[in-house]
Structure 1
Amino acid sequence: MAYENIIFEKEDNIAVVTFNRPEAMNALNNQTRAEFGEAVREVEADDDIRVLILTGSGKAFVAGSDIKEFHATTPYAAHNIVRLGSIVEKLAKPVIAAVNGFCLGGGCEIAMGCDLIIASEKAKFGQPEINLGIIPGGGGTQRLQRLVGMCRAKELIFTGDIIRAEEAERIGLVNRVVAMDELMPTAREVAAKIAVKSPAALKLAKQAINKGAQMSLQDGLDYEYEMYALALSLEDKAEGVNAFLEKRAAKFVGR
C-alpha cells in the first residue's frame, strides 16, 4: 500500500514506521489513523518481520490528535475512533517506540501501548487533554496508571503537565533516555537483539505479560503456566535446547 502520512521501511527482520506530518507535529488525523492501522496489519502478516519500531519525523513523535478534525468529533463518532495504542498492544510481535520529540495525548497513548519506549533527551511526554476540557480517550487513564502508579497518573492527567524525558525515565514511563543522534541506532540495536529470539516464544511472552496484568496475581500465574506449557511444545523450544547443548546460535523458525 502507498502511504502519505507515514513512512514504512523494512530492513532484514525489522520494520520501521515513521509518523510523517512534520508540518503538523505528526498530529493524528483520520488518514494517518487509517494508514497506521494498515501498516500494523502489514507487519502482522509478514512473517519476515519480527520487530516493529515506531518513530516520528521532525520535532515530534506524535503531538496528539489533529485539533482541526477533532473539533467536529461527536460522542457517537468517538466510539468509532480506532485506539492506536490497542493496535500495537495486540500485535503479536514486539513493538519499540523510539520517541524523538513531543509525545503528547494520542501520541503518548500509542507509545504506552508499545512494549518498550526509548526516548531521546529532547522527548517530552504528557496527556494535556484536560486543557481542551476533555480526558484521554485512547488508553491514557488506564495505561498511564499501570506504568507510573495512580497518584502520578492523576497528577499528570489532572494538570495536563508535560514532562521531560529524564523525568519520564525516573517515574518508569520510559525504559531509557539517549542522545538524539543515538535514538534510532539504539532502537535498532535493541530490535536486532530481540529479532533473533523465537517469534513464537516472544508472542507467548507478550500475551502472558499483557493479559496477566489485567488479572489477579493467581490468575496471572495460572495463565503464565498455560503459555509456558505451549512454549514447551514449540519447534523453537527443541531448536533452542539443541543449540545450547551444541554451543551454537539457535535458528528459530517461529513455530
Structure 2
Amino acid sequence: MTEPGGHAGVRTETREGIFIITIDRPEARNAIDGATARALAAAIDELDSSDNLLVGILTGAGGVFSAGMDLKAFAKGEKPVVPGRGFAGITRTEIRTPLIAAVEGYALGGGTEMALACDMIVAARDATFGQTEVHYGIVAPEGGMVRLPERIPHNIAVELLLTGDPLPAARAEQLGLVNHLTEPGEALTQALELAHRVARNAPLAVAAVKRVVNERTAYRDQDALRDQDQIVGLVLDSQDAREGARAFAEKRTPHWQGR
C-alpha cells in the first residue's frame, strides 16, 4: 500500500494495484468546485498513466459520494468543468482503466453524472442518486441526459430528469444502474473486492475489453454531448440558472423568470 497522496479536495491511495480516488470536501458534501475538478482530472491522469494501477475506485469522504456542482461557487461565476474533460475532469474523459464508483450517502446532480461515467457502481442500500438540476434552473449536461436513458428504462430516466426526484439505491439496483448493493458503510469494501476480481485477470484482456466497450459507446456519447450543448447552453447561461444558484446559497425558494 502506498502513502496517500492527492491535491486540493481529493485524496488518492494505492492498495495492491487498486487506485482509490476520494473526493474529500465533506464540509460541502463533496460538492465539486474548480480546484477539485482539476485535482480529479490529475488523479484520473495518474490512474491511466501507470502500468502498476490496474483498476480505479472513485468514492467520497464522510459518508457522502458527492452533492454535485458546488452551487455557491457557481453563484460566484465559477464552473467545475475542465476544458475537454467535462464536469469534475471526468464526465467527458475517455478513461482507459476500469473505474468503479463506490457510493455512500448522496450522489446528486453531477454526483450521479460522475457515477454514470464509471464502468460499474457499488452503492450502500441507503444511498440516493438523482438528477436534481431542474430544481436550480439548470439541466444535467455532463452525461445525465445522455447516459441515464441508456442505463435504465427510457421513460423512467425522463421522469427523473424532468422532476428532479431522488432515486434510492435499492431502486437503482432493480433498474440495473447499480451492480452491487451493500450495507451502509461497506460500499468501498465491496468495490475493492470487485476491483480485485477484475485486477487478477490478464491485463491485456482487461484492457481490450475496456477499449472495445469505450469505442462502442464513448464516441456515441461524445456526439450526443456535443449535440445537446447547442441546446442547453442558453439554459446554463440564463438568469434562471443564476437565480437557482443564488436561491440555494441564500436558502430560499427561487423565483423563475423563464429567461
- Normalised by the size of structure 2, how large is the TM-score? 0.77
CA displacement at 1:80 relative to structure 2: 4.0
In our comparison, the structure showing a higher alpha carbon Rg is 1
C-alpha distance in structure 1 between counterparts of 2:127 and 2:6, whole Å? 29
C-alpha distance in structure 2 between counterparts of 1:179 and 1:62, whole Å? 19
Structure 1 stretches of 5 or more lacking a match?
217-255
C-alpha distance in structure 1 between counterparts of 2:23 and 2:108, whole Å? 14
Q: Look up the equivalent residue of 2:163 and give its one-letter code.
A: T
C-alpha distance in structure 2 between counterparts of 1:166 and 1:2, whole Å? 32
- Percent sequence identity over aligned pairs: 35
Aligned to 2:91: 85
C-alpha distance in structure 2 between counterparts of 1:101 and 1:109, whole Å? 15
Q: Contact 2:68–2:107 at 8 Å: present in 1 too?
A: yes
Q: Look up the equivalent residue of 1:3 and give its one-letter code.
A: H
Q: Contact 1:54–1:98 at 8 Å: present in 2 too?
A: yes
Q: Look up the equivalent residue of 1:134 and give its one-letter code.
A: I
163-172 or 196-205, which deviates more: 196-205
CA displacement at 1:78 relative to structure 2: 7.0
Taking the TM superposition and a 5 Å limit, the aligned residue runs for 1:32-71 are 32-71=36-75
C-alpha distance in structure 2 between counterparts of 1:63 and 1:180, whole Å? 18
C-alpha distance in structure 2 between counterparts of 1:154 and 1:72, whole Å? 30
C-alpha distance in structure 2 between counterparts of 1:144 and 1:3, whole Å? 30
CA displacement at 1:2 relative to structure 2: 4.6
Q: Contact 2:6–2:43 at 8 Å: present in 1 too?
A: no
C-alpha distance in structure 2 between counterparts of 1:140 and 1:54, whole Å? 18
Note if 1:179 corresponds to 2:208: no
Query: How well do the aligned residues superpose, as a CA RMSD in angstroms?
Result: 2.2
Taking the TM superposition and a 5 Å limit, the aligned residue runs for 1:162-201 are 162-201=166-205
The structure with the greater share of residues assigned to helix is 1
- Normalised by the size of structure 1, how large is the TM-score? 0.78
20-29 or 199-208, which deviates more: 199-208
Structure 2 stretches of 5 or more lacking a match?
221-259
130-139 or 18-27, which deviates more: 130-139
2:14 maps to which of 10, 25, 40: 10
Aligned to 1:237: none
> Cα 1:209–1:82, aligned 2, differ >3 Å: closer, same or farther?
closer
